[in-house]
Amino acid sequence: MDNYKIEKRIFDFFLASALFFLAFPLFLYLFLLIKIDSKGKIIYKSERTGLNEKKFFMYKFRSMISRADKLGFMSASDDDVRITKIGKLIRKYKLDELPELINIIKGEMSFVGPRPELEYYTRQFNKEEKKILSVKPGITDFASIKFHNEGEILKNSKIKDKNKAYELLIQPEKTKLQLKYIKEASFLLDLKLILNTIKLFL
């Protein structure tokens, strides 16, 4: 397991660094589009619970109006009125998550691992679910692949409260799949999950 953690960290650092360098022109282009499209900070920082319950700020390109987290639900559907015009585009292709490469370089996240949750949800974890916090959170895993269209699921839900919709329709299965990843984690599985994630957008 120790060798796996070392291999995983080396892989994460060098791949994230290379992708950040290659994607830098795209970063600048998105910076400009977001700046022109709406008022507010270009990078959105969201406090999440990470490895061993340590708090960190996850970076994303802002895809909603300024202070959107103060104006509505924590979970957002595809038709959420807080999403900006450019936000709809970058969310569709997950481009809003590009700044998470910085979190990976810093060692706060990994390419593969359970998606980092808000403390609001991790406070409710039972003993078994707290195992999710025993590994670094990541960009993708079994749950991220299955619920890659989370916004669409929430949009089509008849439940008006999108937080409730998330908690009833997504979170239970998402938690099971995150625990499944932790039990089966290996370097080869990580590579497989990365390839399966890429296939979703080809």
Q: What value does the mean pLDDT take over residues 19-41?
A: 96
- Which residue in this structure is represented by tokens 């070392």? 6
pTM: 0.93
Backbone angles phi, psi at 62, to 5 degrees: -65, 125
Query: With bands split at pLDDT 50, 70 and 90, how would you rate the model's confidence at 69?
Result: confident
Rounded-to-integer distance, Cα 27 and Cα 12, Å:
19
pLDDT tier for residue 76 given thresholds of 50, 70 and 90: confident
CB atoms within 10 A of CB 130: 11
| pLDDT of the residue at 1 | 60
Q: How many domains does the chain have?
A: 1
Residue 200 has pLDDT above 80, yes or no: yes
Q: What residue numbers bound the domain in which 139 lies?
A: 2-199
- Six-digit token string for 18: 């290379």
| Of residues 70, 68, 93, the one with CA closest to residue 148 | 93
CA distance 63 to 126: 32
Segments in 93-127 forming alpha helices (H)? 100-106, 119-122
Beta-sheet strands, E only, within the chain:
43-49, 55-61, 110-112, 138-140
Count the residues in the chain: 202
Q: What is the Cα–Cα distance from 95 to 107, expressed in whole angstroms?
A: 20
How much of the chain exceeds pLDDT 70, in percent? 100
- pLDDT in the model for residue 153: 95
Beta-bridge mates of residue 138: 110
Look up residue 166 and give its DSSP letter.
I
Residue percentage of the chain with pLDDT more than 90 = 90
DSSP 135: S
